[in-house]
Structure 1
């Protein structure tokens, strides 16, 4: 089975004196199948409005950082069985009317709220952290066809079908070396759902590395960064450049992916830019 996909991520924010406001948008679309004619498109997009607060305090030789944010979000995605991608690709290639092809396809959308929180405790070059994402109550989603959305000029929301978001717990450790030099090095180790690792002891201890994330970040001459990662059995690498108010980042990655209940992997290229003012 093969696949092709793409996505976008946009963020705008304001931070001052421990308070932050922001808007983020993230979209992802993947078409998979044995061939183009029999492929299925799975797409989702989410817009978040975020307000957050952070605190920094010192406890003797320790430095503690705490943060929490509240997100209101709108999520929209293709129906659970996806869209047939073959007719869509044919319409795009032949420059045909794409609306006539997708007007009966359906999208599901709904509004919700979630809380994210986390903290780190640092002692010299060592830091440990714990974070929880997507603490949320269930939220309602409604299904509408593309034709219904176009006729009503309204995306789907509300509805009687309720969905839940499973919270994600992440624990990690970092070691920062020579941060004042021209080649500072930082090592990272983290795991999602860290308590599940104990179930692998002692008989399946060899599986623990495949459940974790390992990272190495090397600063170069104060304005660029080299990054190498190993994520649940997949490698990634990237580079970043920091020039005054402009940040540019590029990375090649492979990551695990769950499509229709089956585990697979996907590889891609990410380009990211940020303007700070």
Structure 2
């Protein structure tokens, strides 16, 4: 008996939702606070790594710039976080426990330890006093800074927001590349040209990592990647990519020009910030549209029939 192909009697289901209402509650985060917090944390943490490397190679002016940028960015990121929480007591309450499985708990403790270390490092660099203590603080800030620059990727991908959660594999690389782009850009902007080689190399490498990881993330995310093309997110993503490429080219061709280096540094800083704002707005858009929650879940639950 030959088998005949069966014809489906029920048409394939199309996506619908209850009056178009979101399936999940979008985060009640303000762009200036949280996107700024994501950007500043990356800039601070990676700048501390630049600082310890600059000290080790005798680039004292670059080290001073990196240390200053680290403590300023860390302080502002803490202010942004506290402002979003509503009052300082809420941040202090998060330090009552340490939960290794919670990115927010780990991040709160990282910031609480990092900001004083970065502050002592910068103070010693500018005053010239207590160099040994300053060196220890610089090393501590660099050690903690690697976590400060990256934990925010775990923080947002650990949520149920589709555009963030679906990018959990590549998002840490995007954030690391973006942080390196920002820290390198700061060095190009403010340090003497003679000392900017490490910052230049870091910035160009950061741009490459960020752009490649972001494109890989978009391809793997499928339809959820559409959220990066929404009206609020798309301008930031395009600006980030354009500024990053322009800044990288300027960093390579302007090795001896103070003006070109400074302009490249400014472009790279702006590119890193635009990346964080674009990712933030894409996440909010994906949380507000129920299809980005329901359709991927349906696709994961469908099993092929024999």
Q: Taking structure 2 as the reference length, what is the TM-score of the superposition?
A: 0.23
Q: Which has the higher contact order (CA 8 A, sep 6+)?
A: 2
Structure with more helix by fraction: 2
More strand by share: 1
TM-score, reference length from structure 1? 0.25
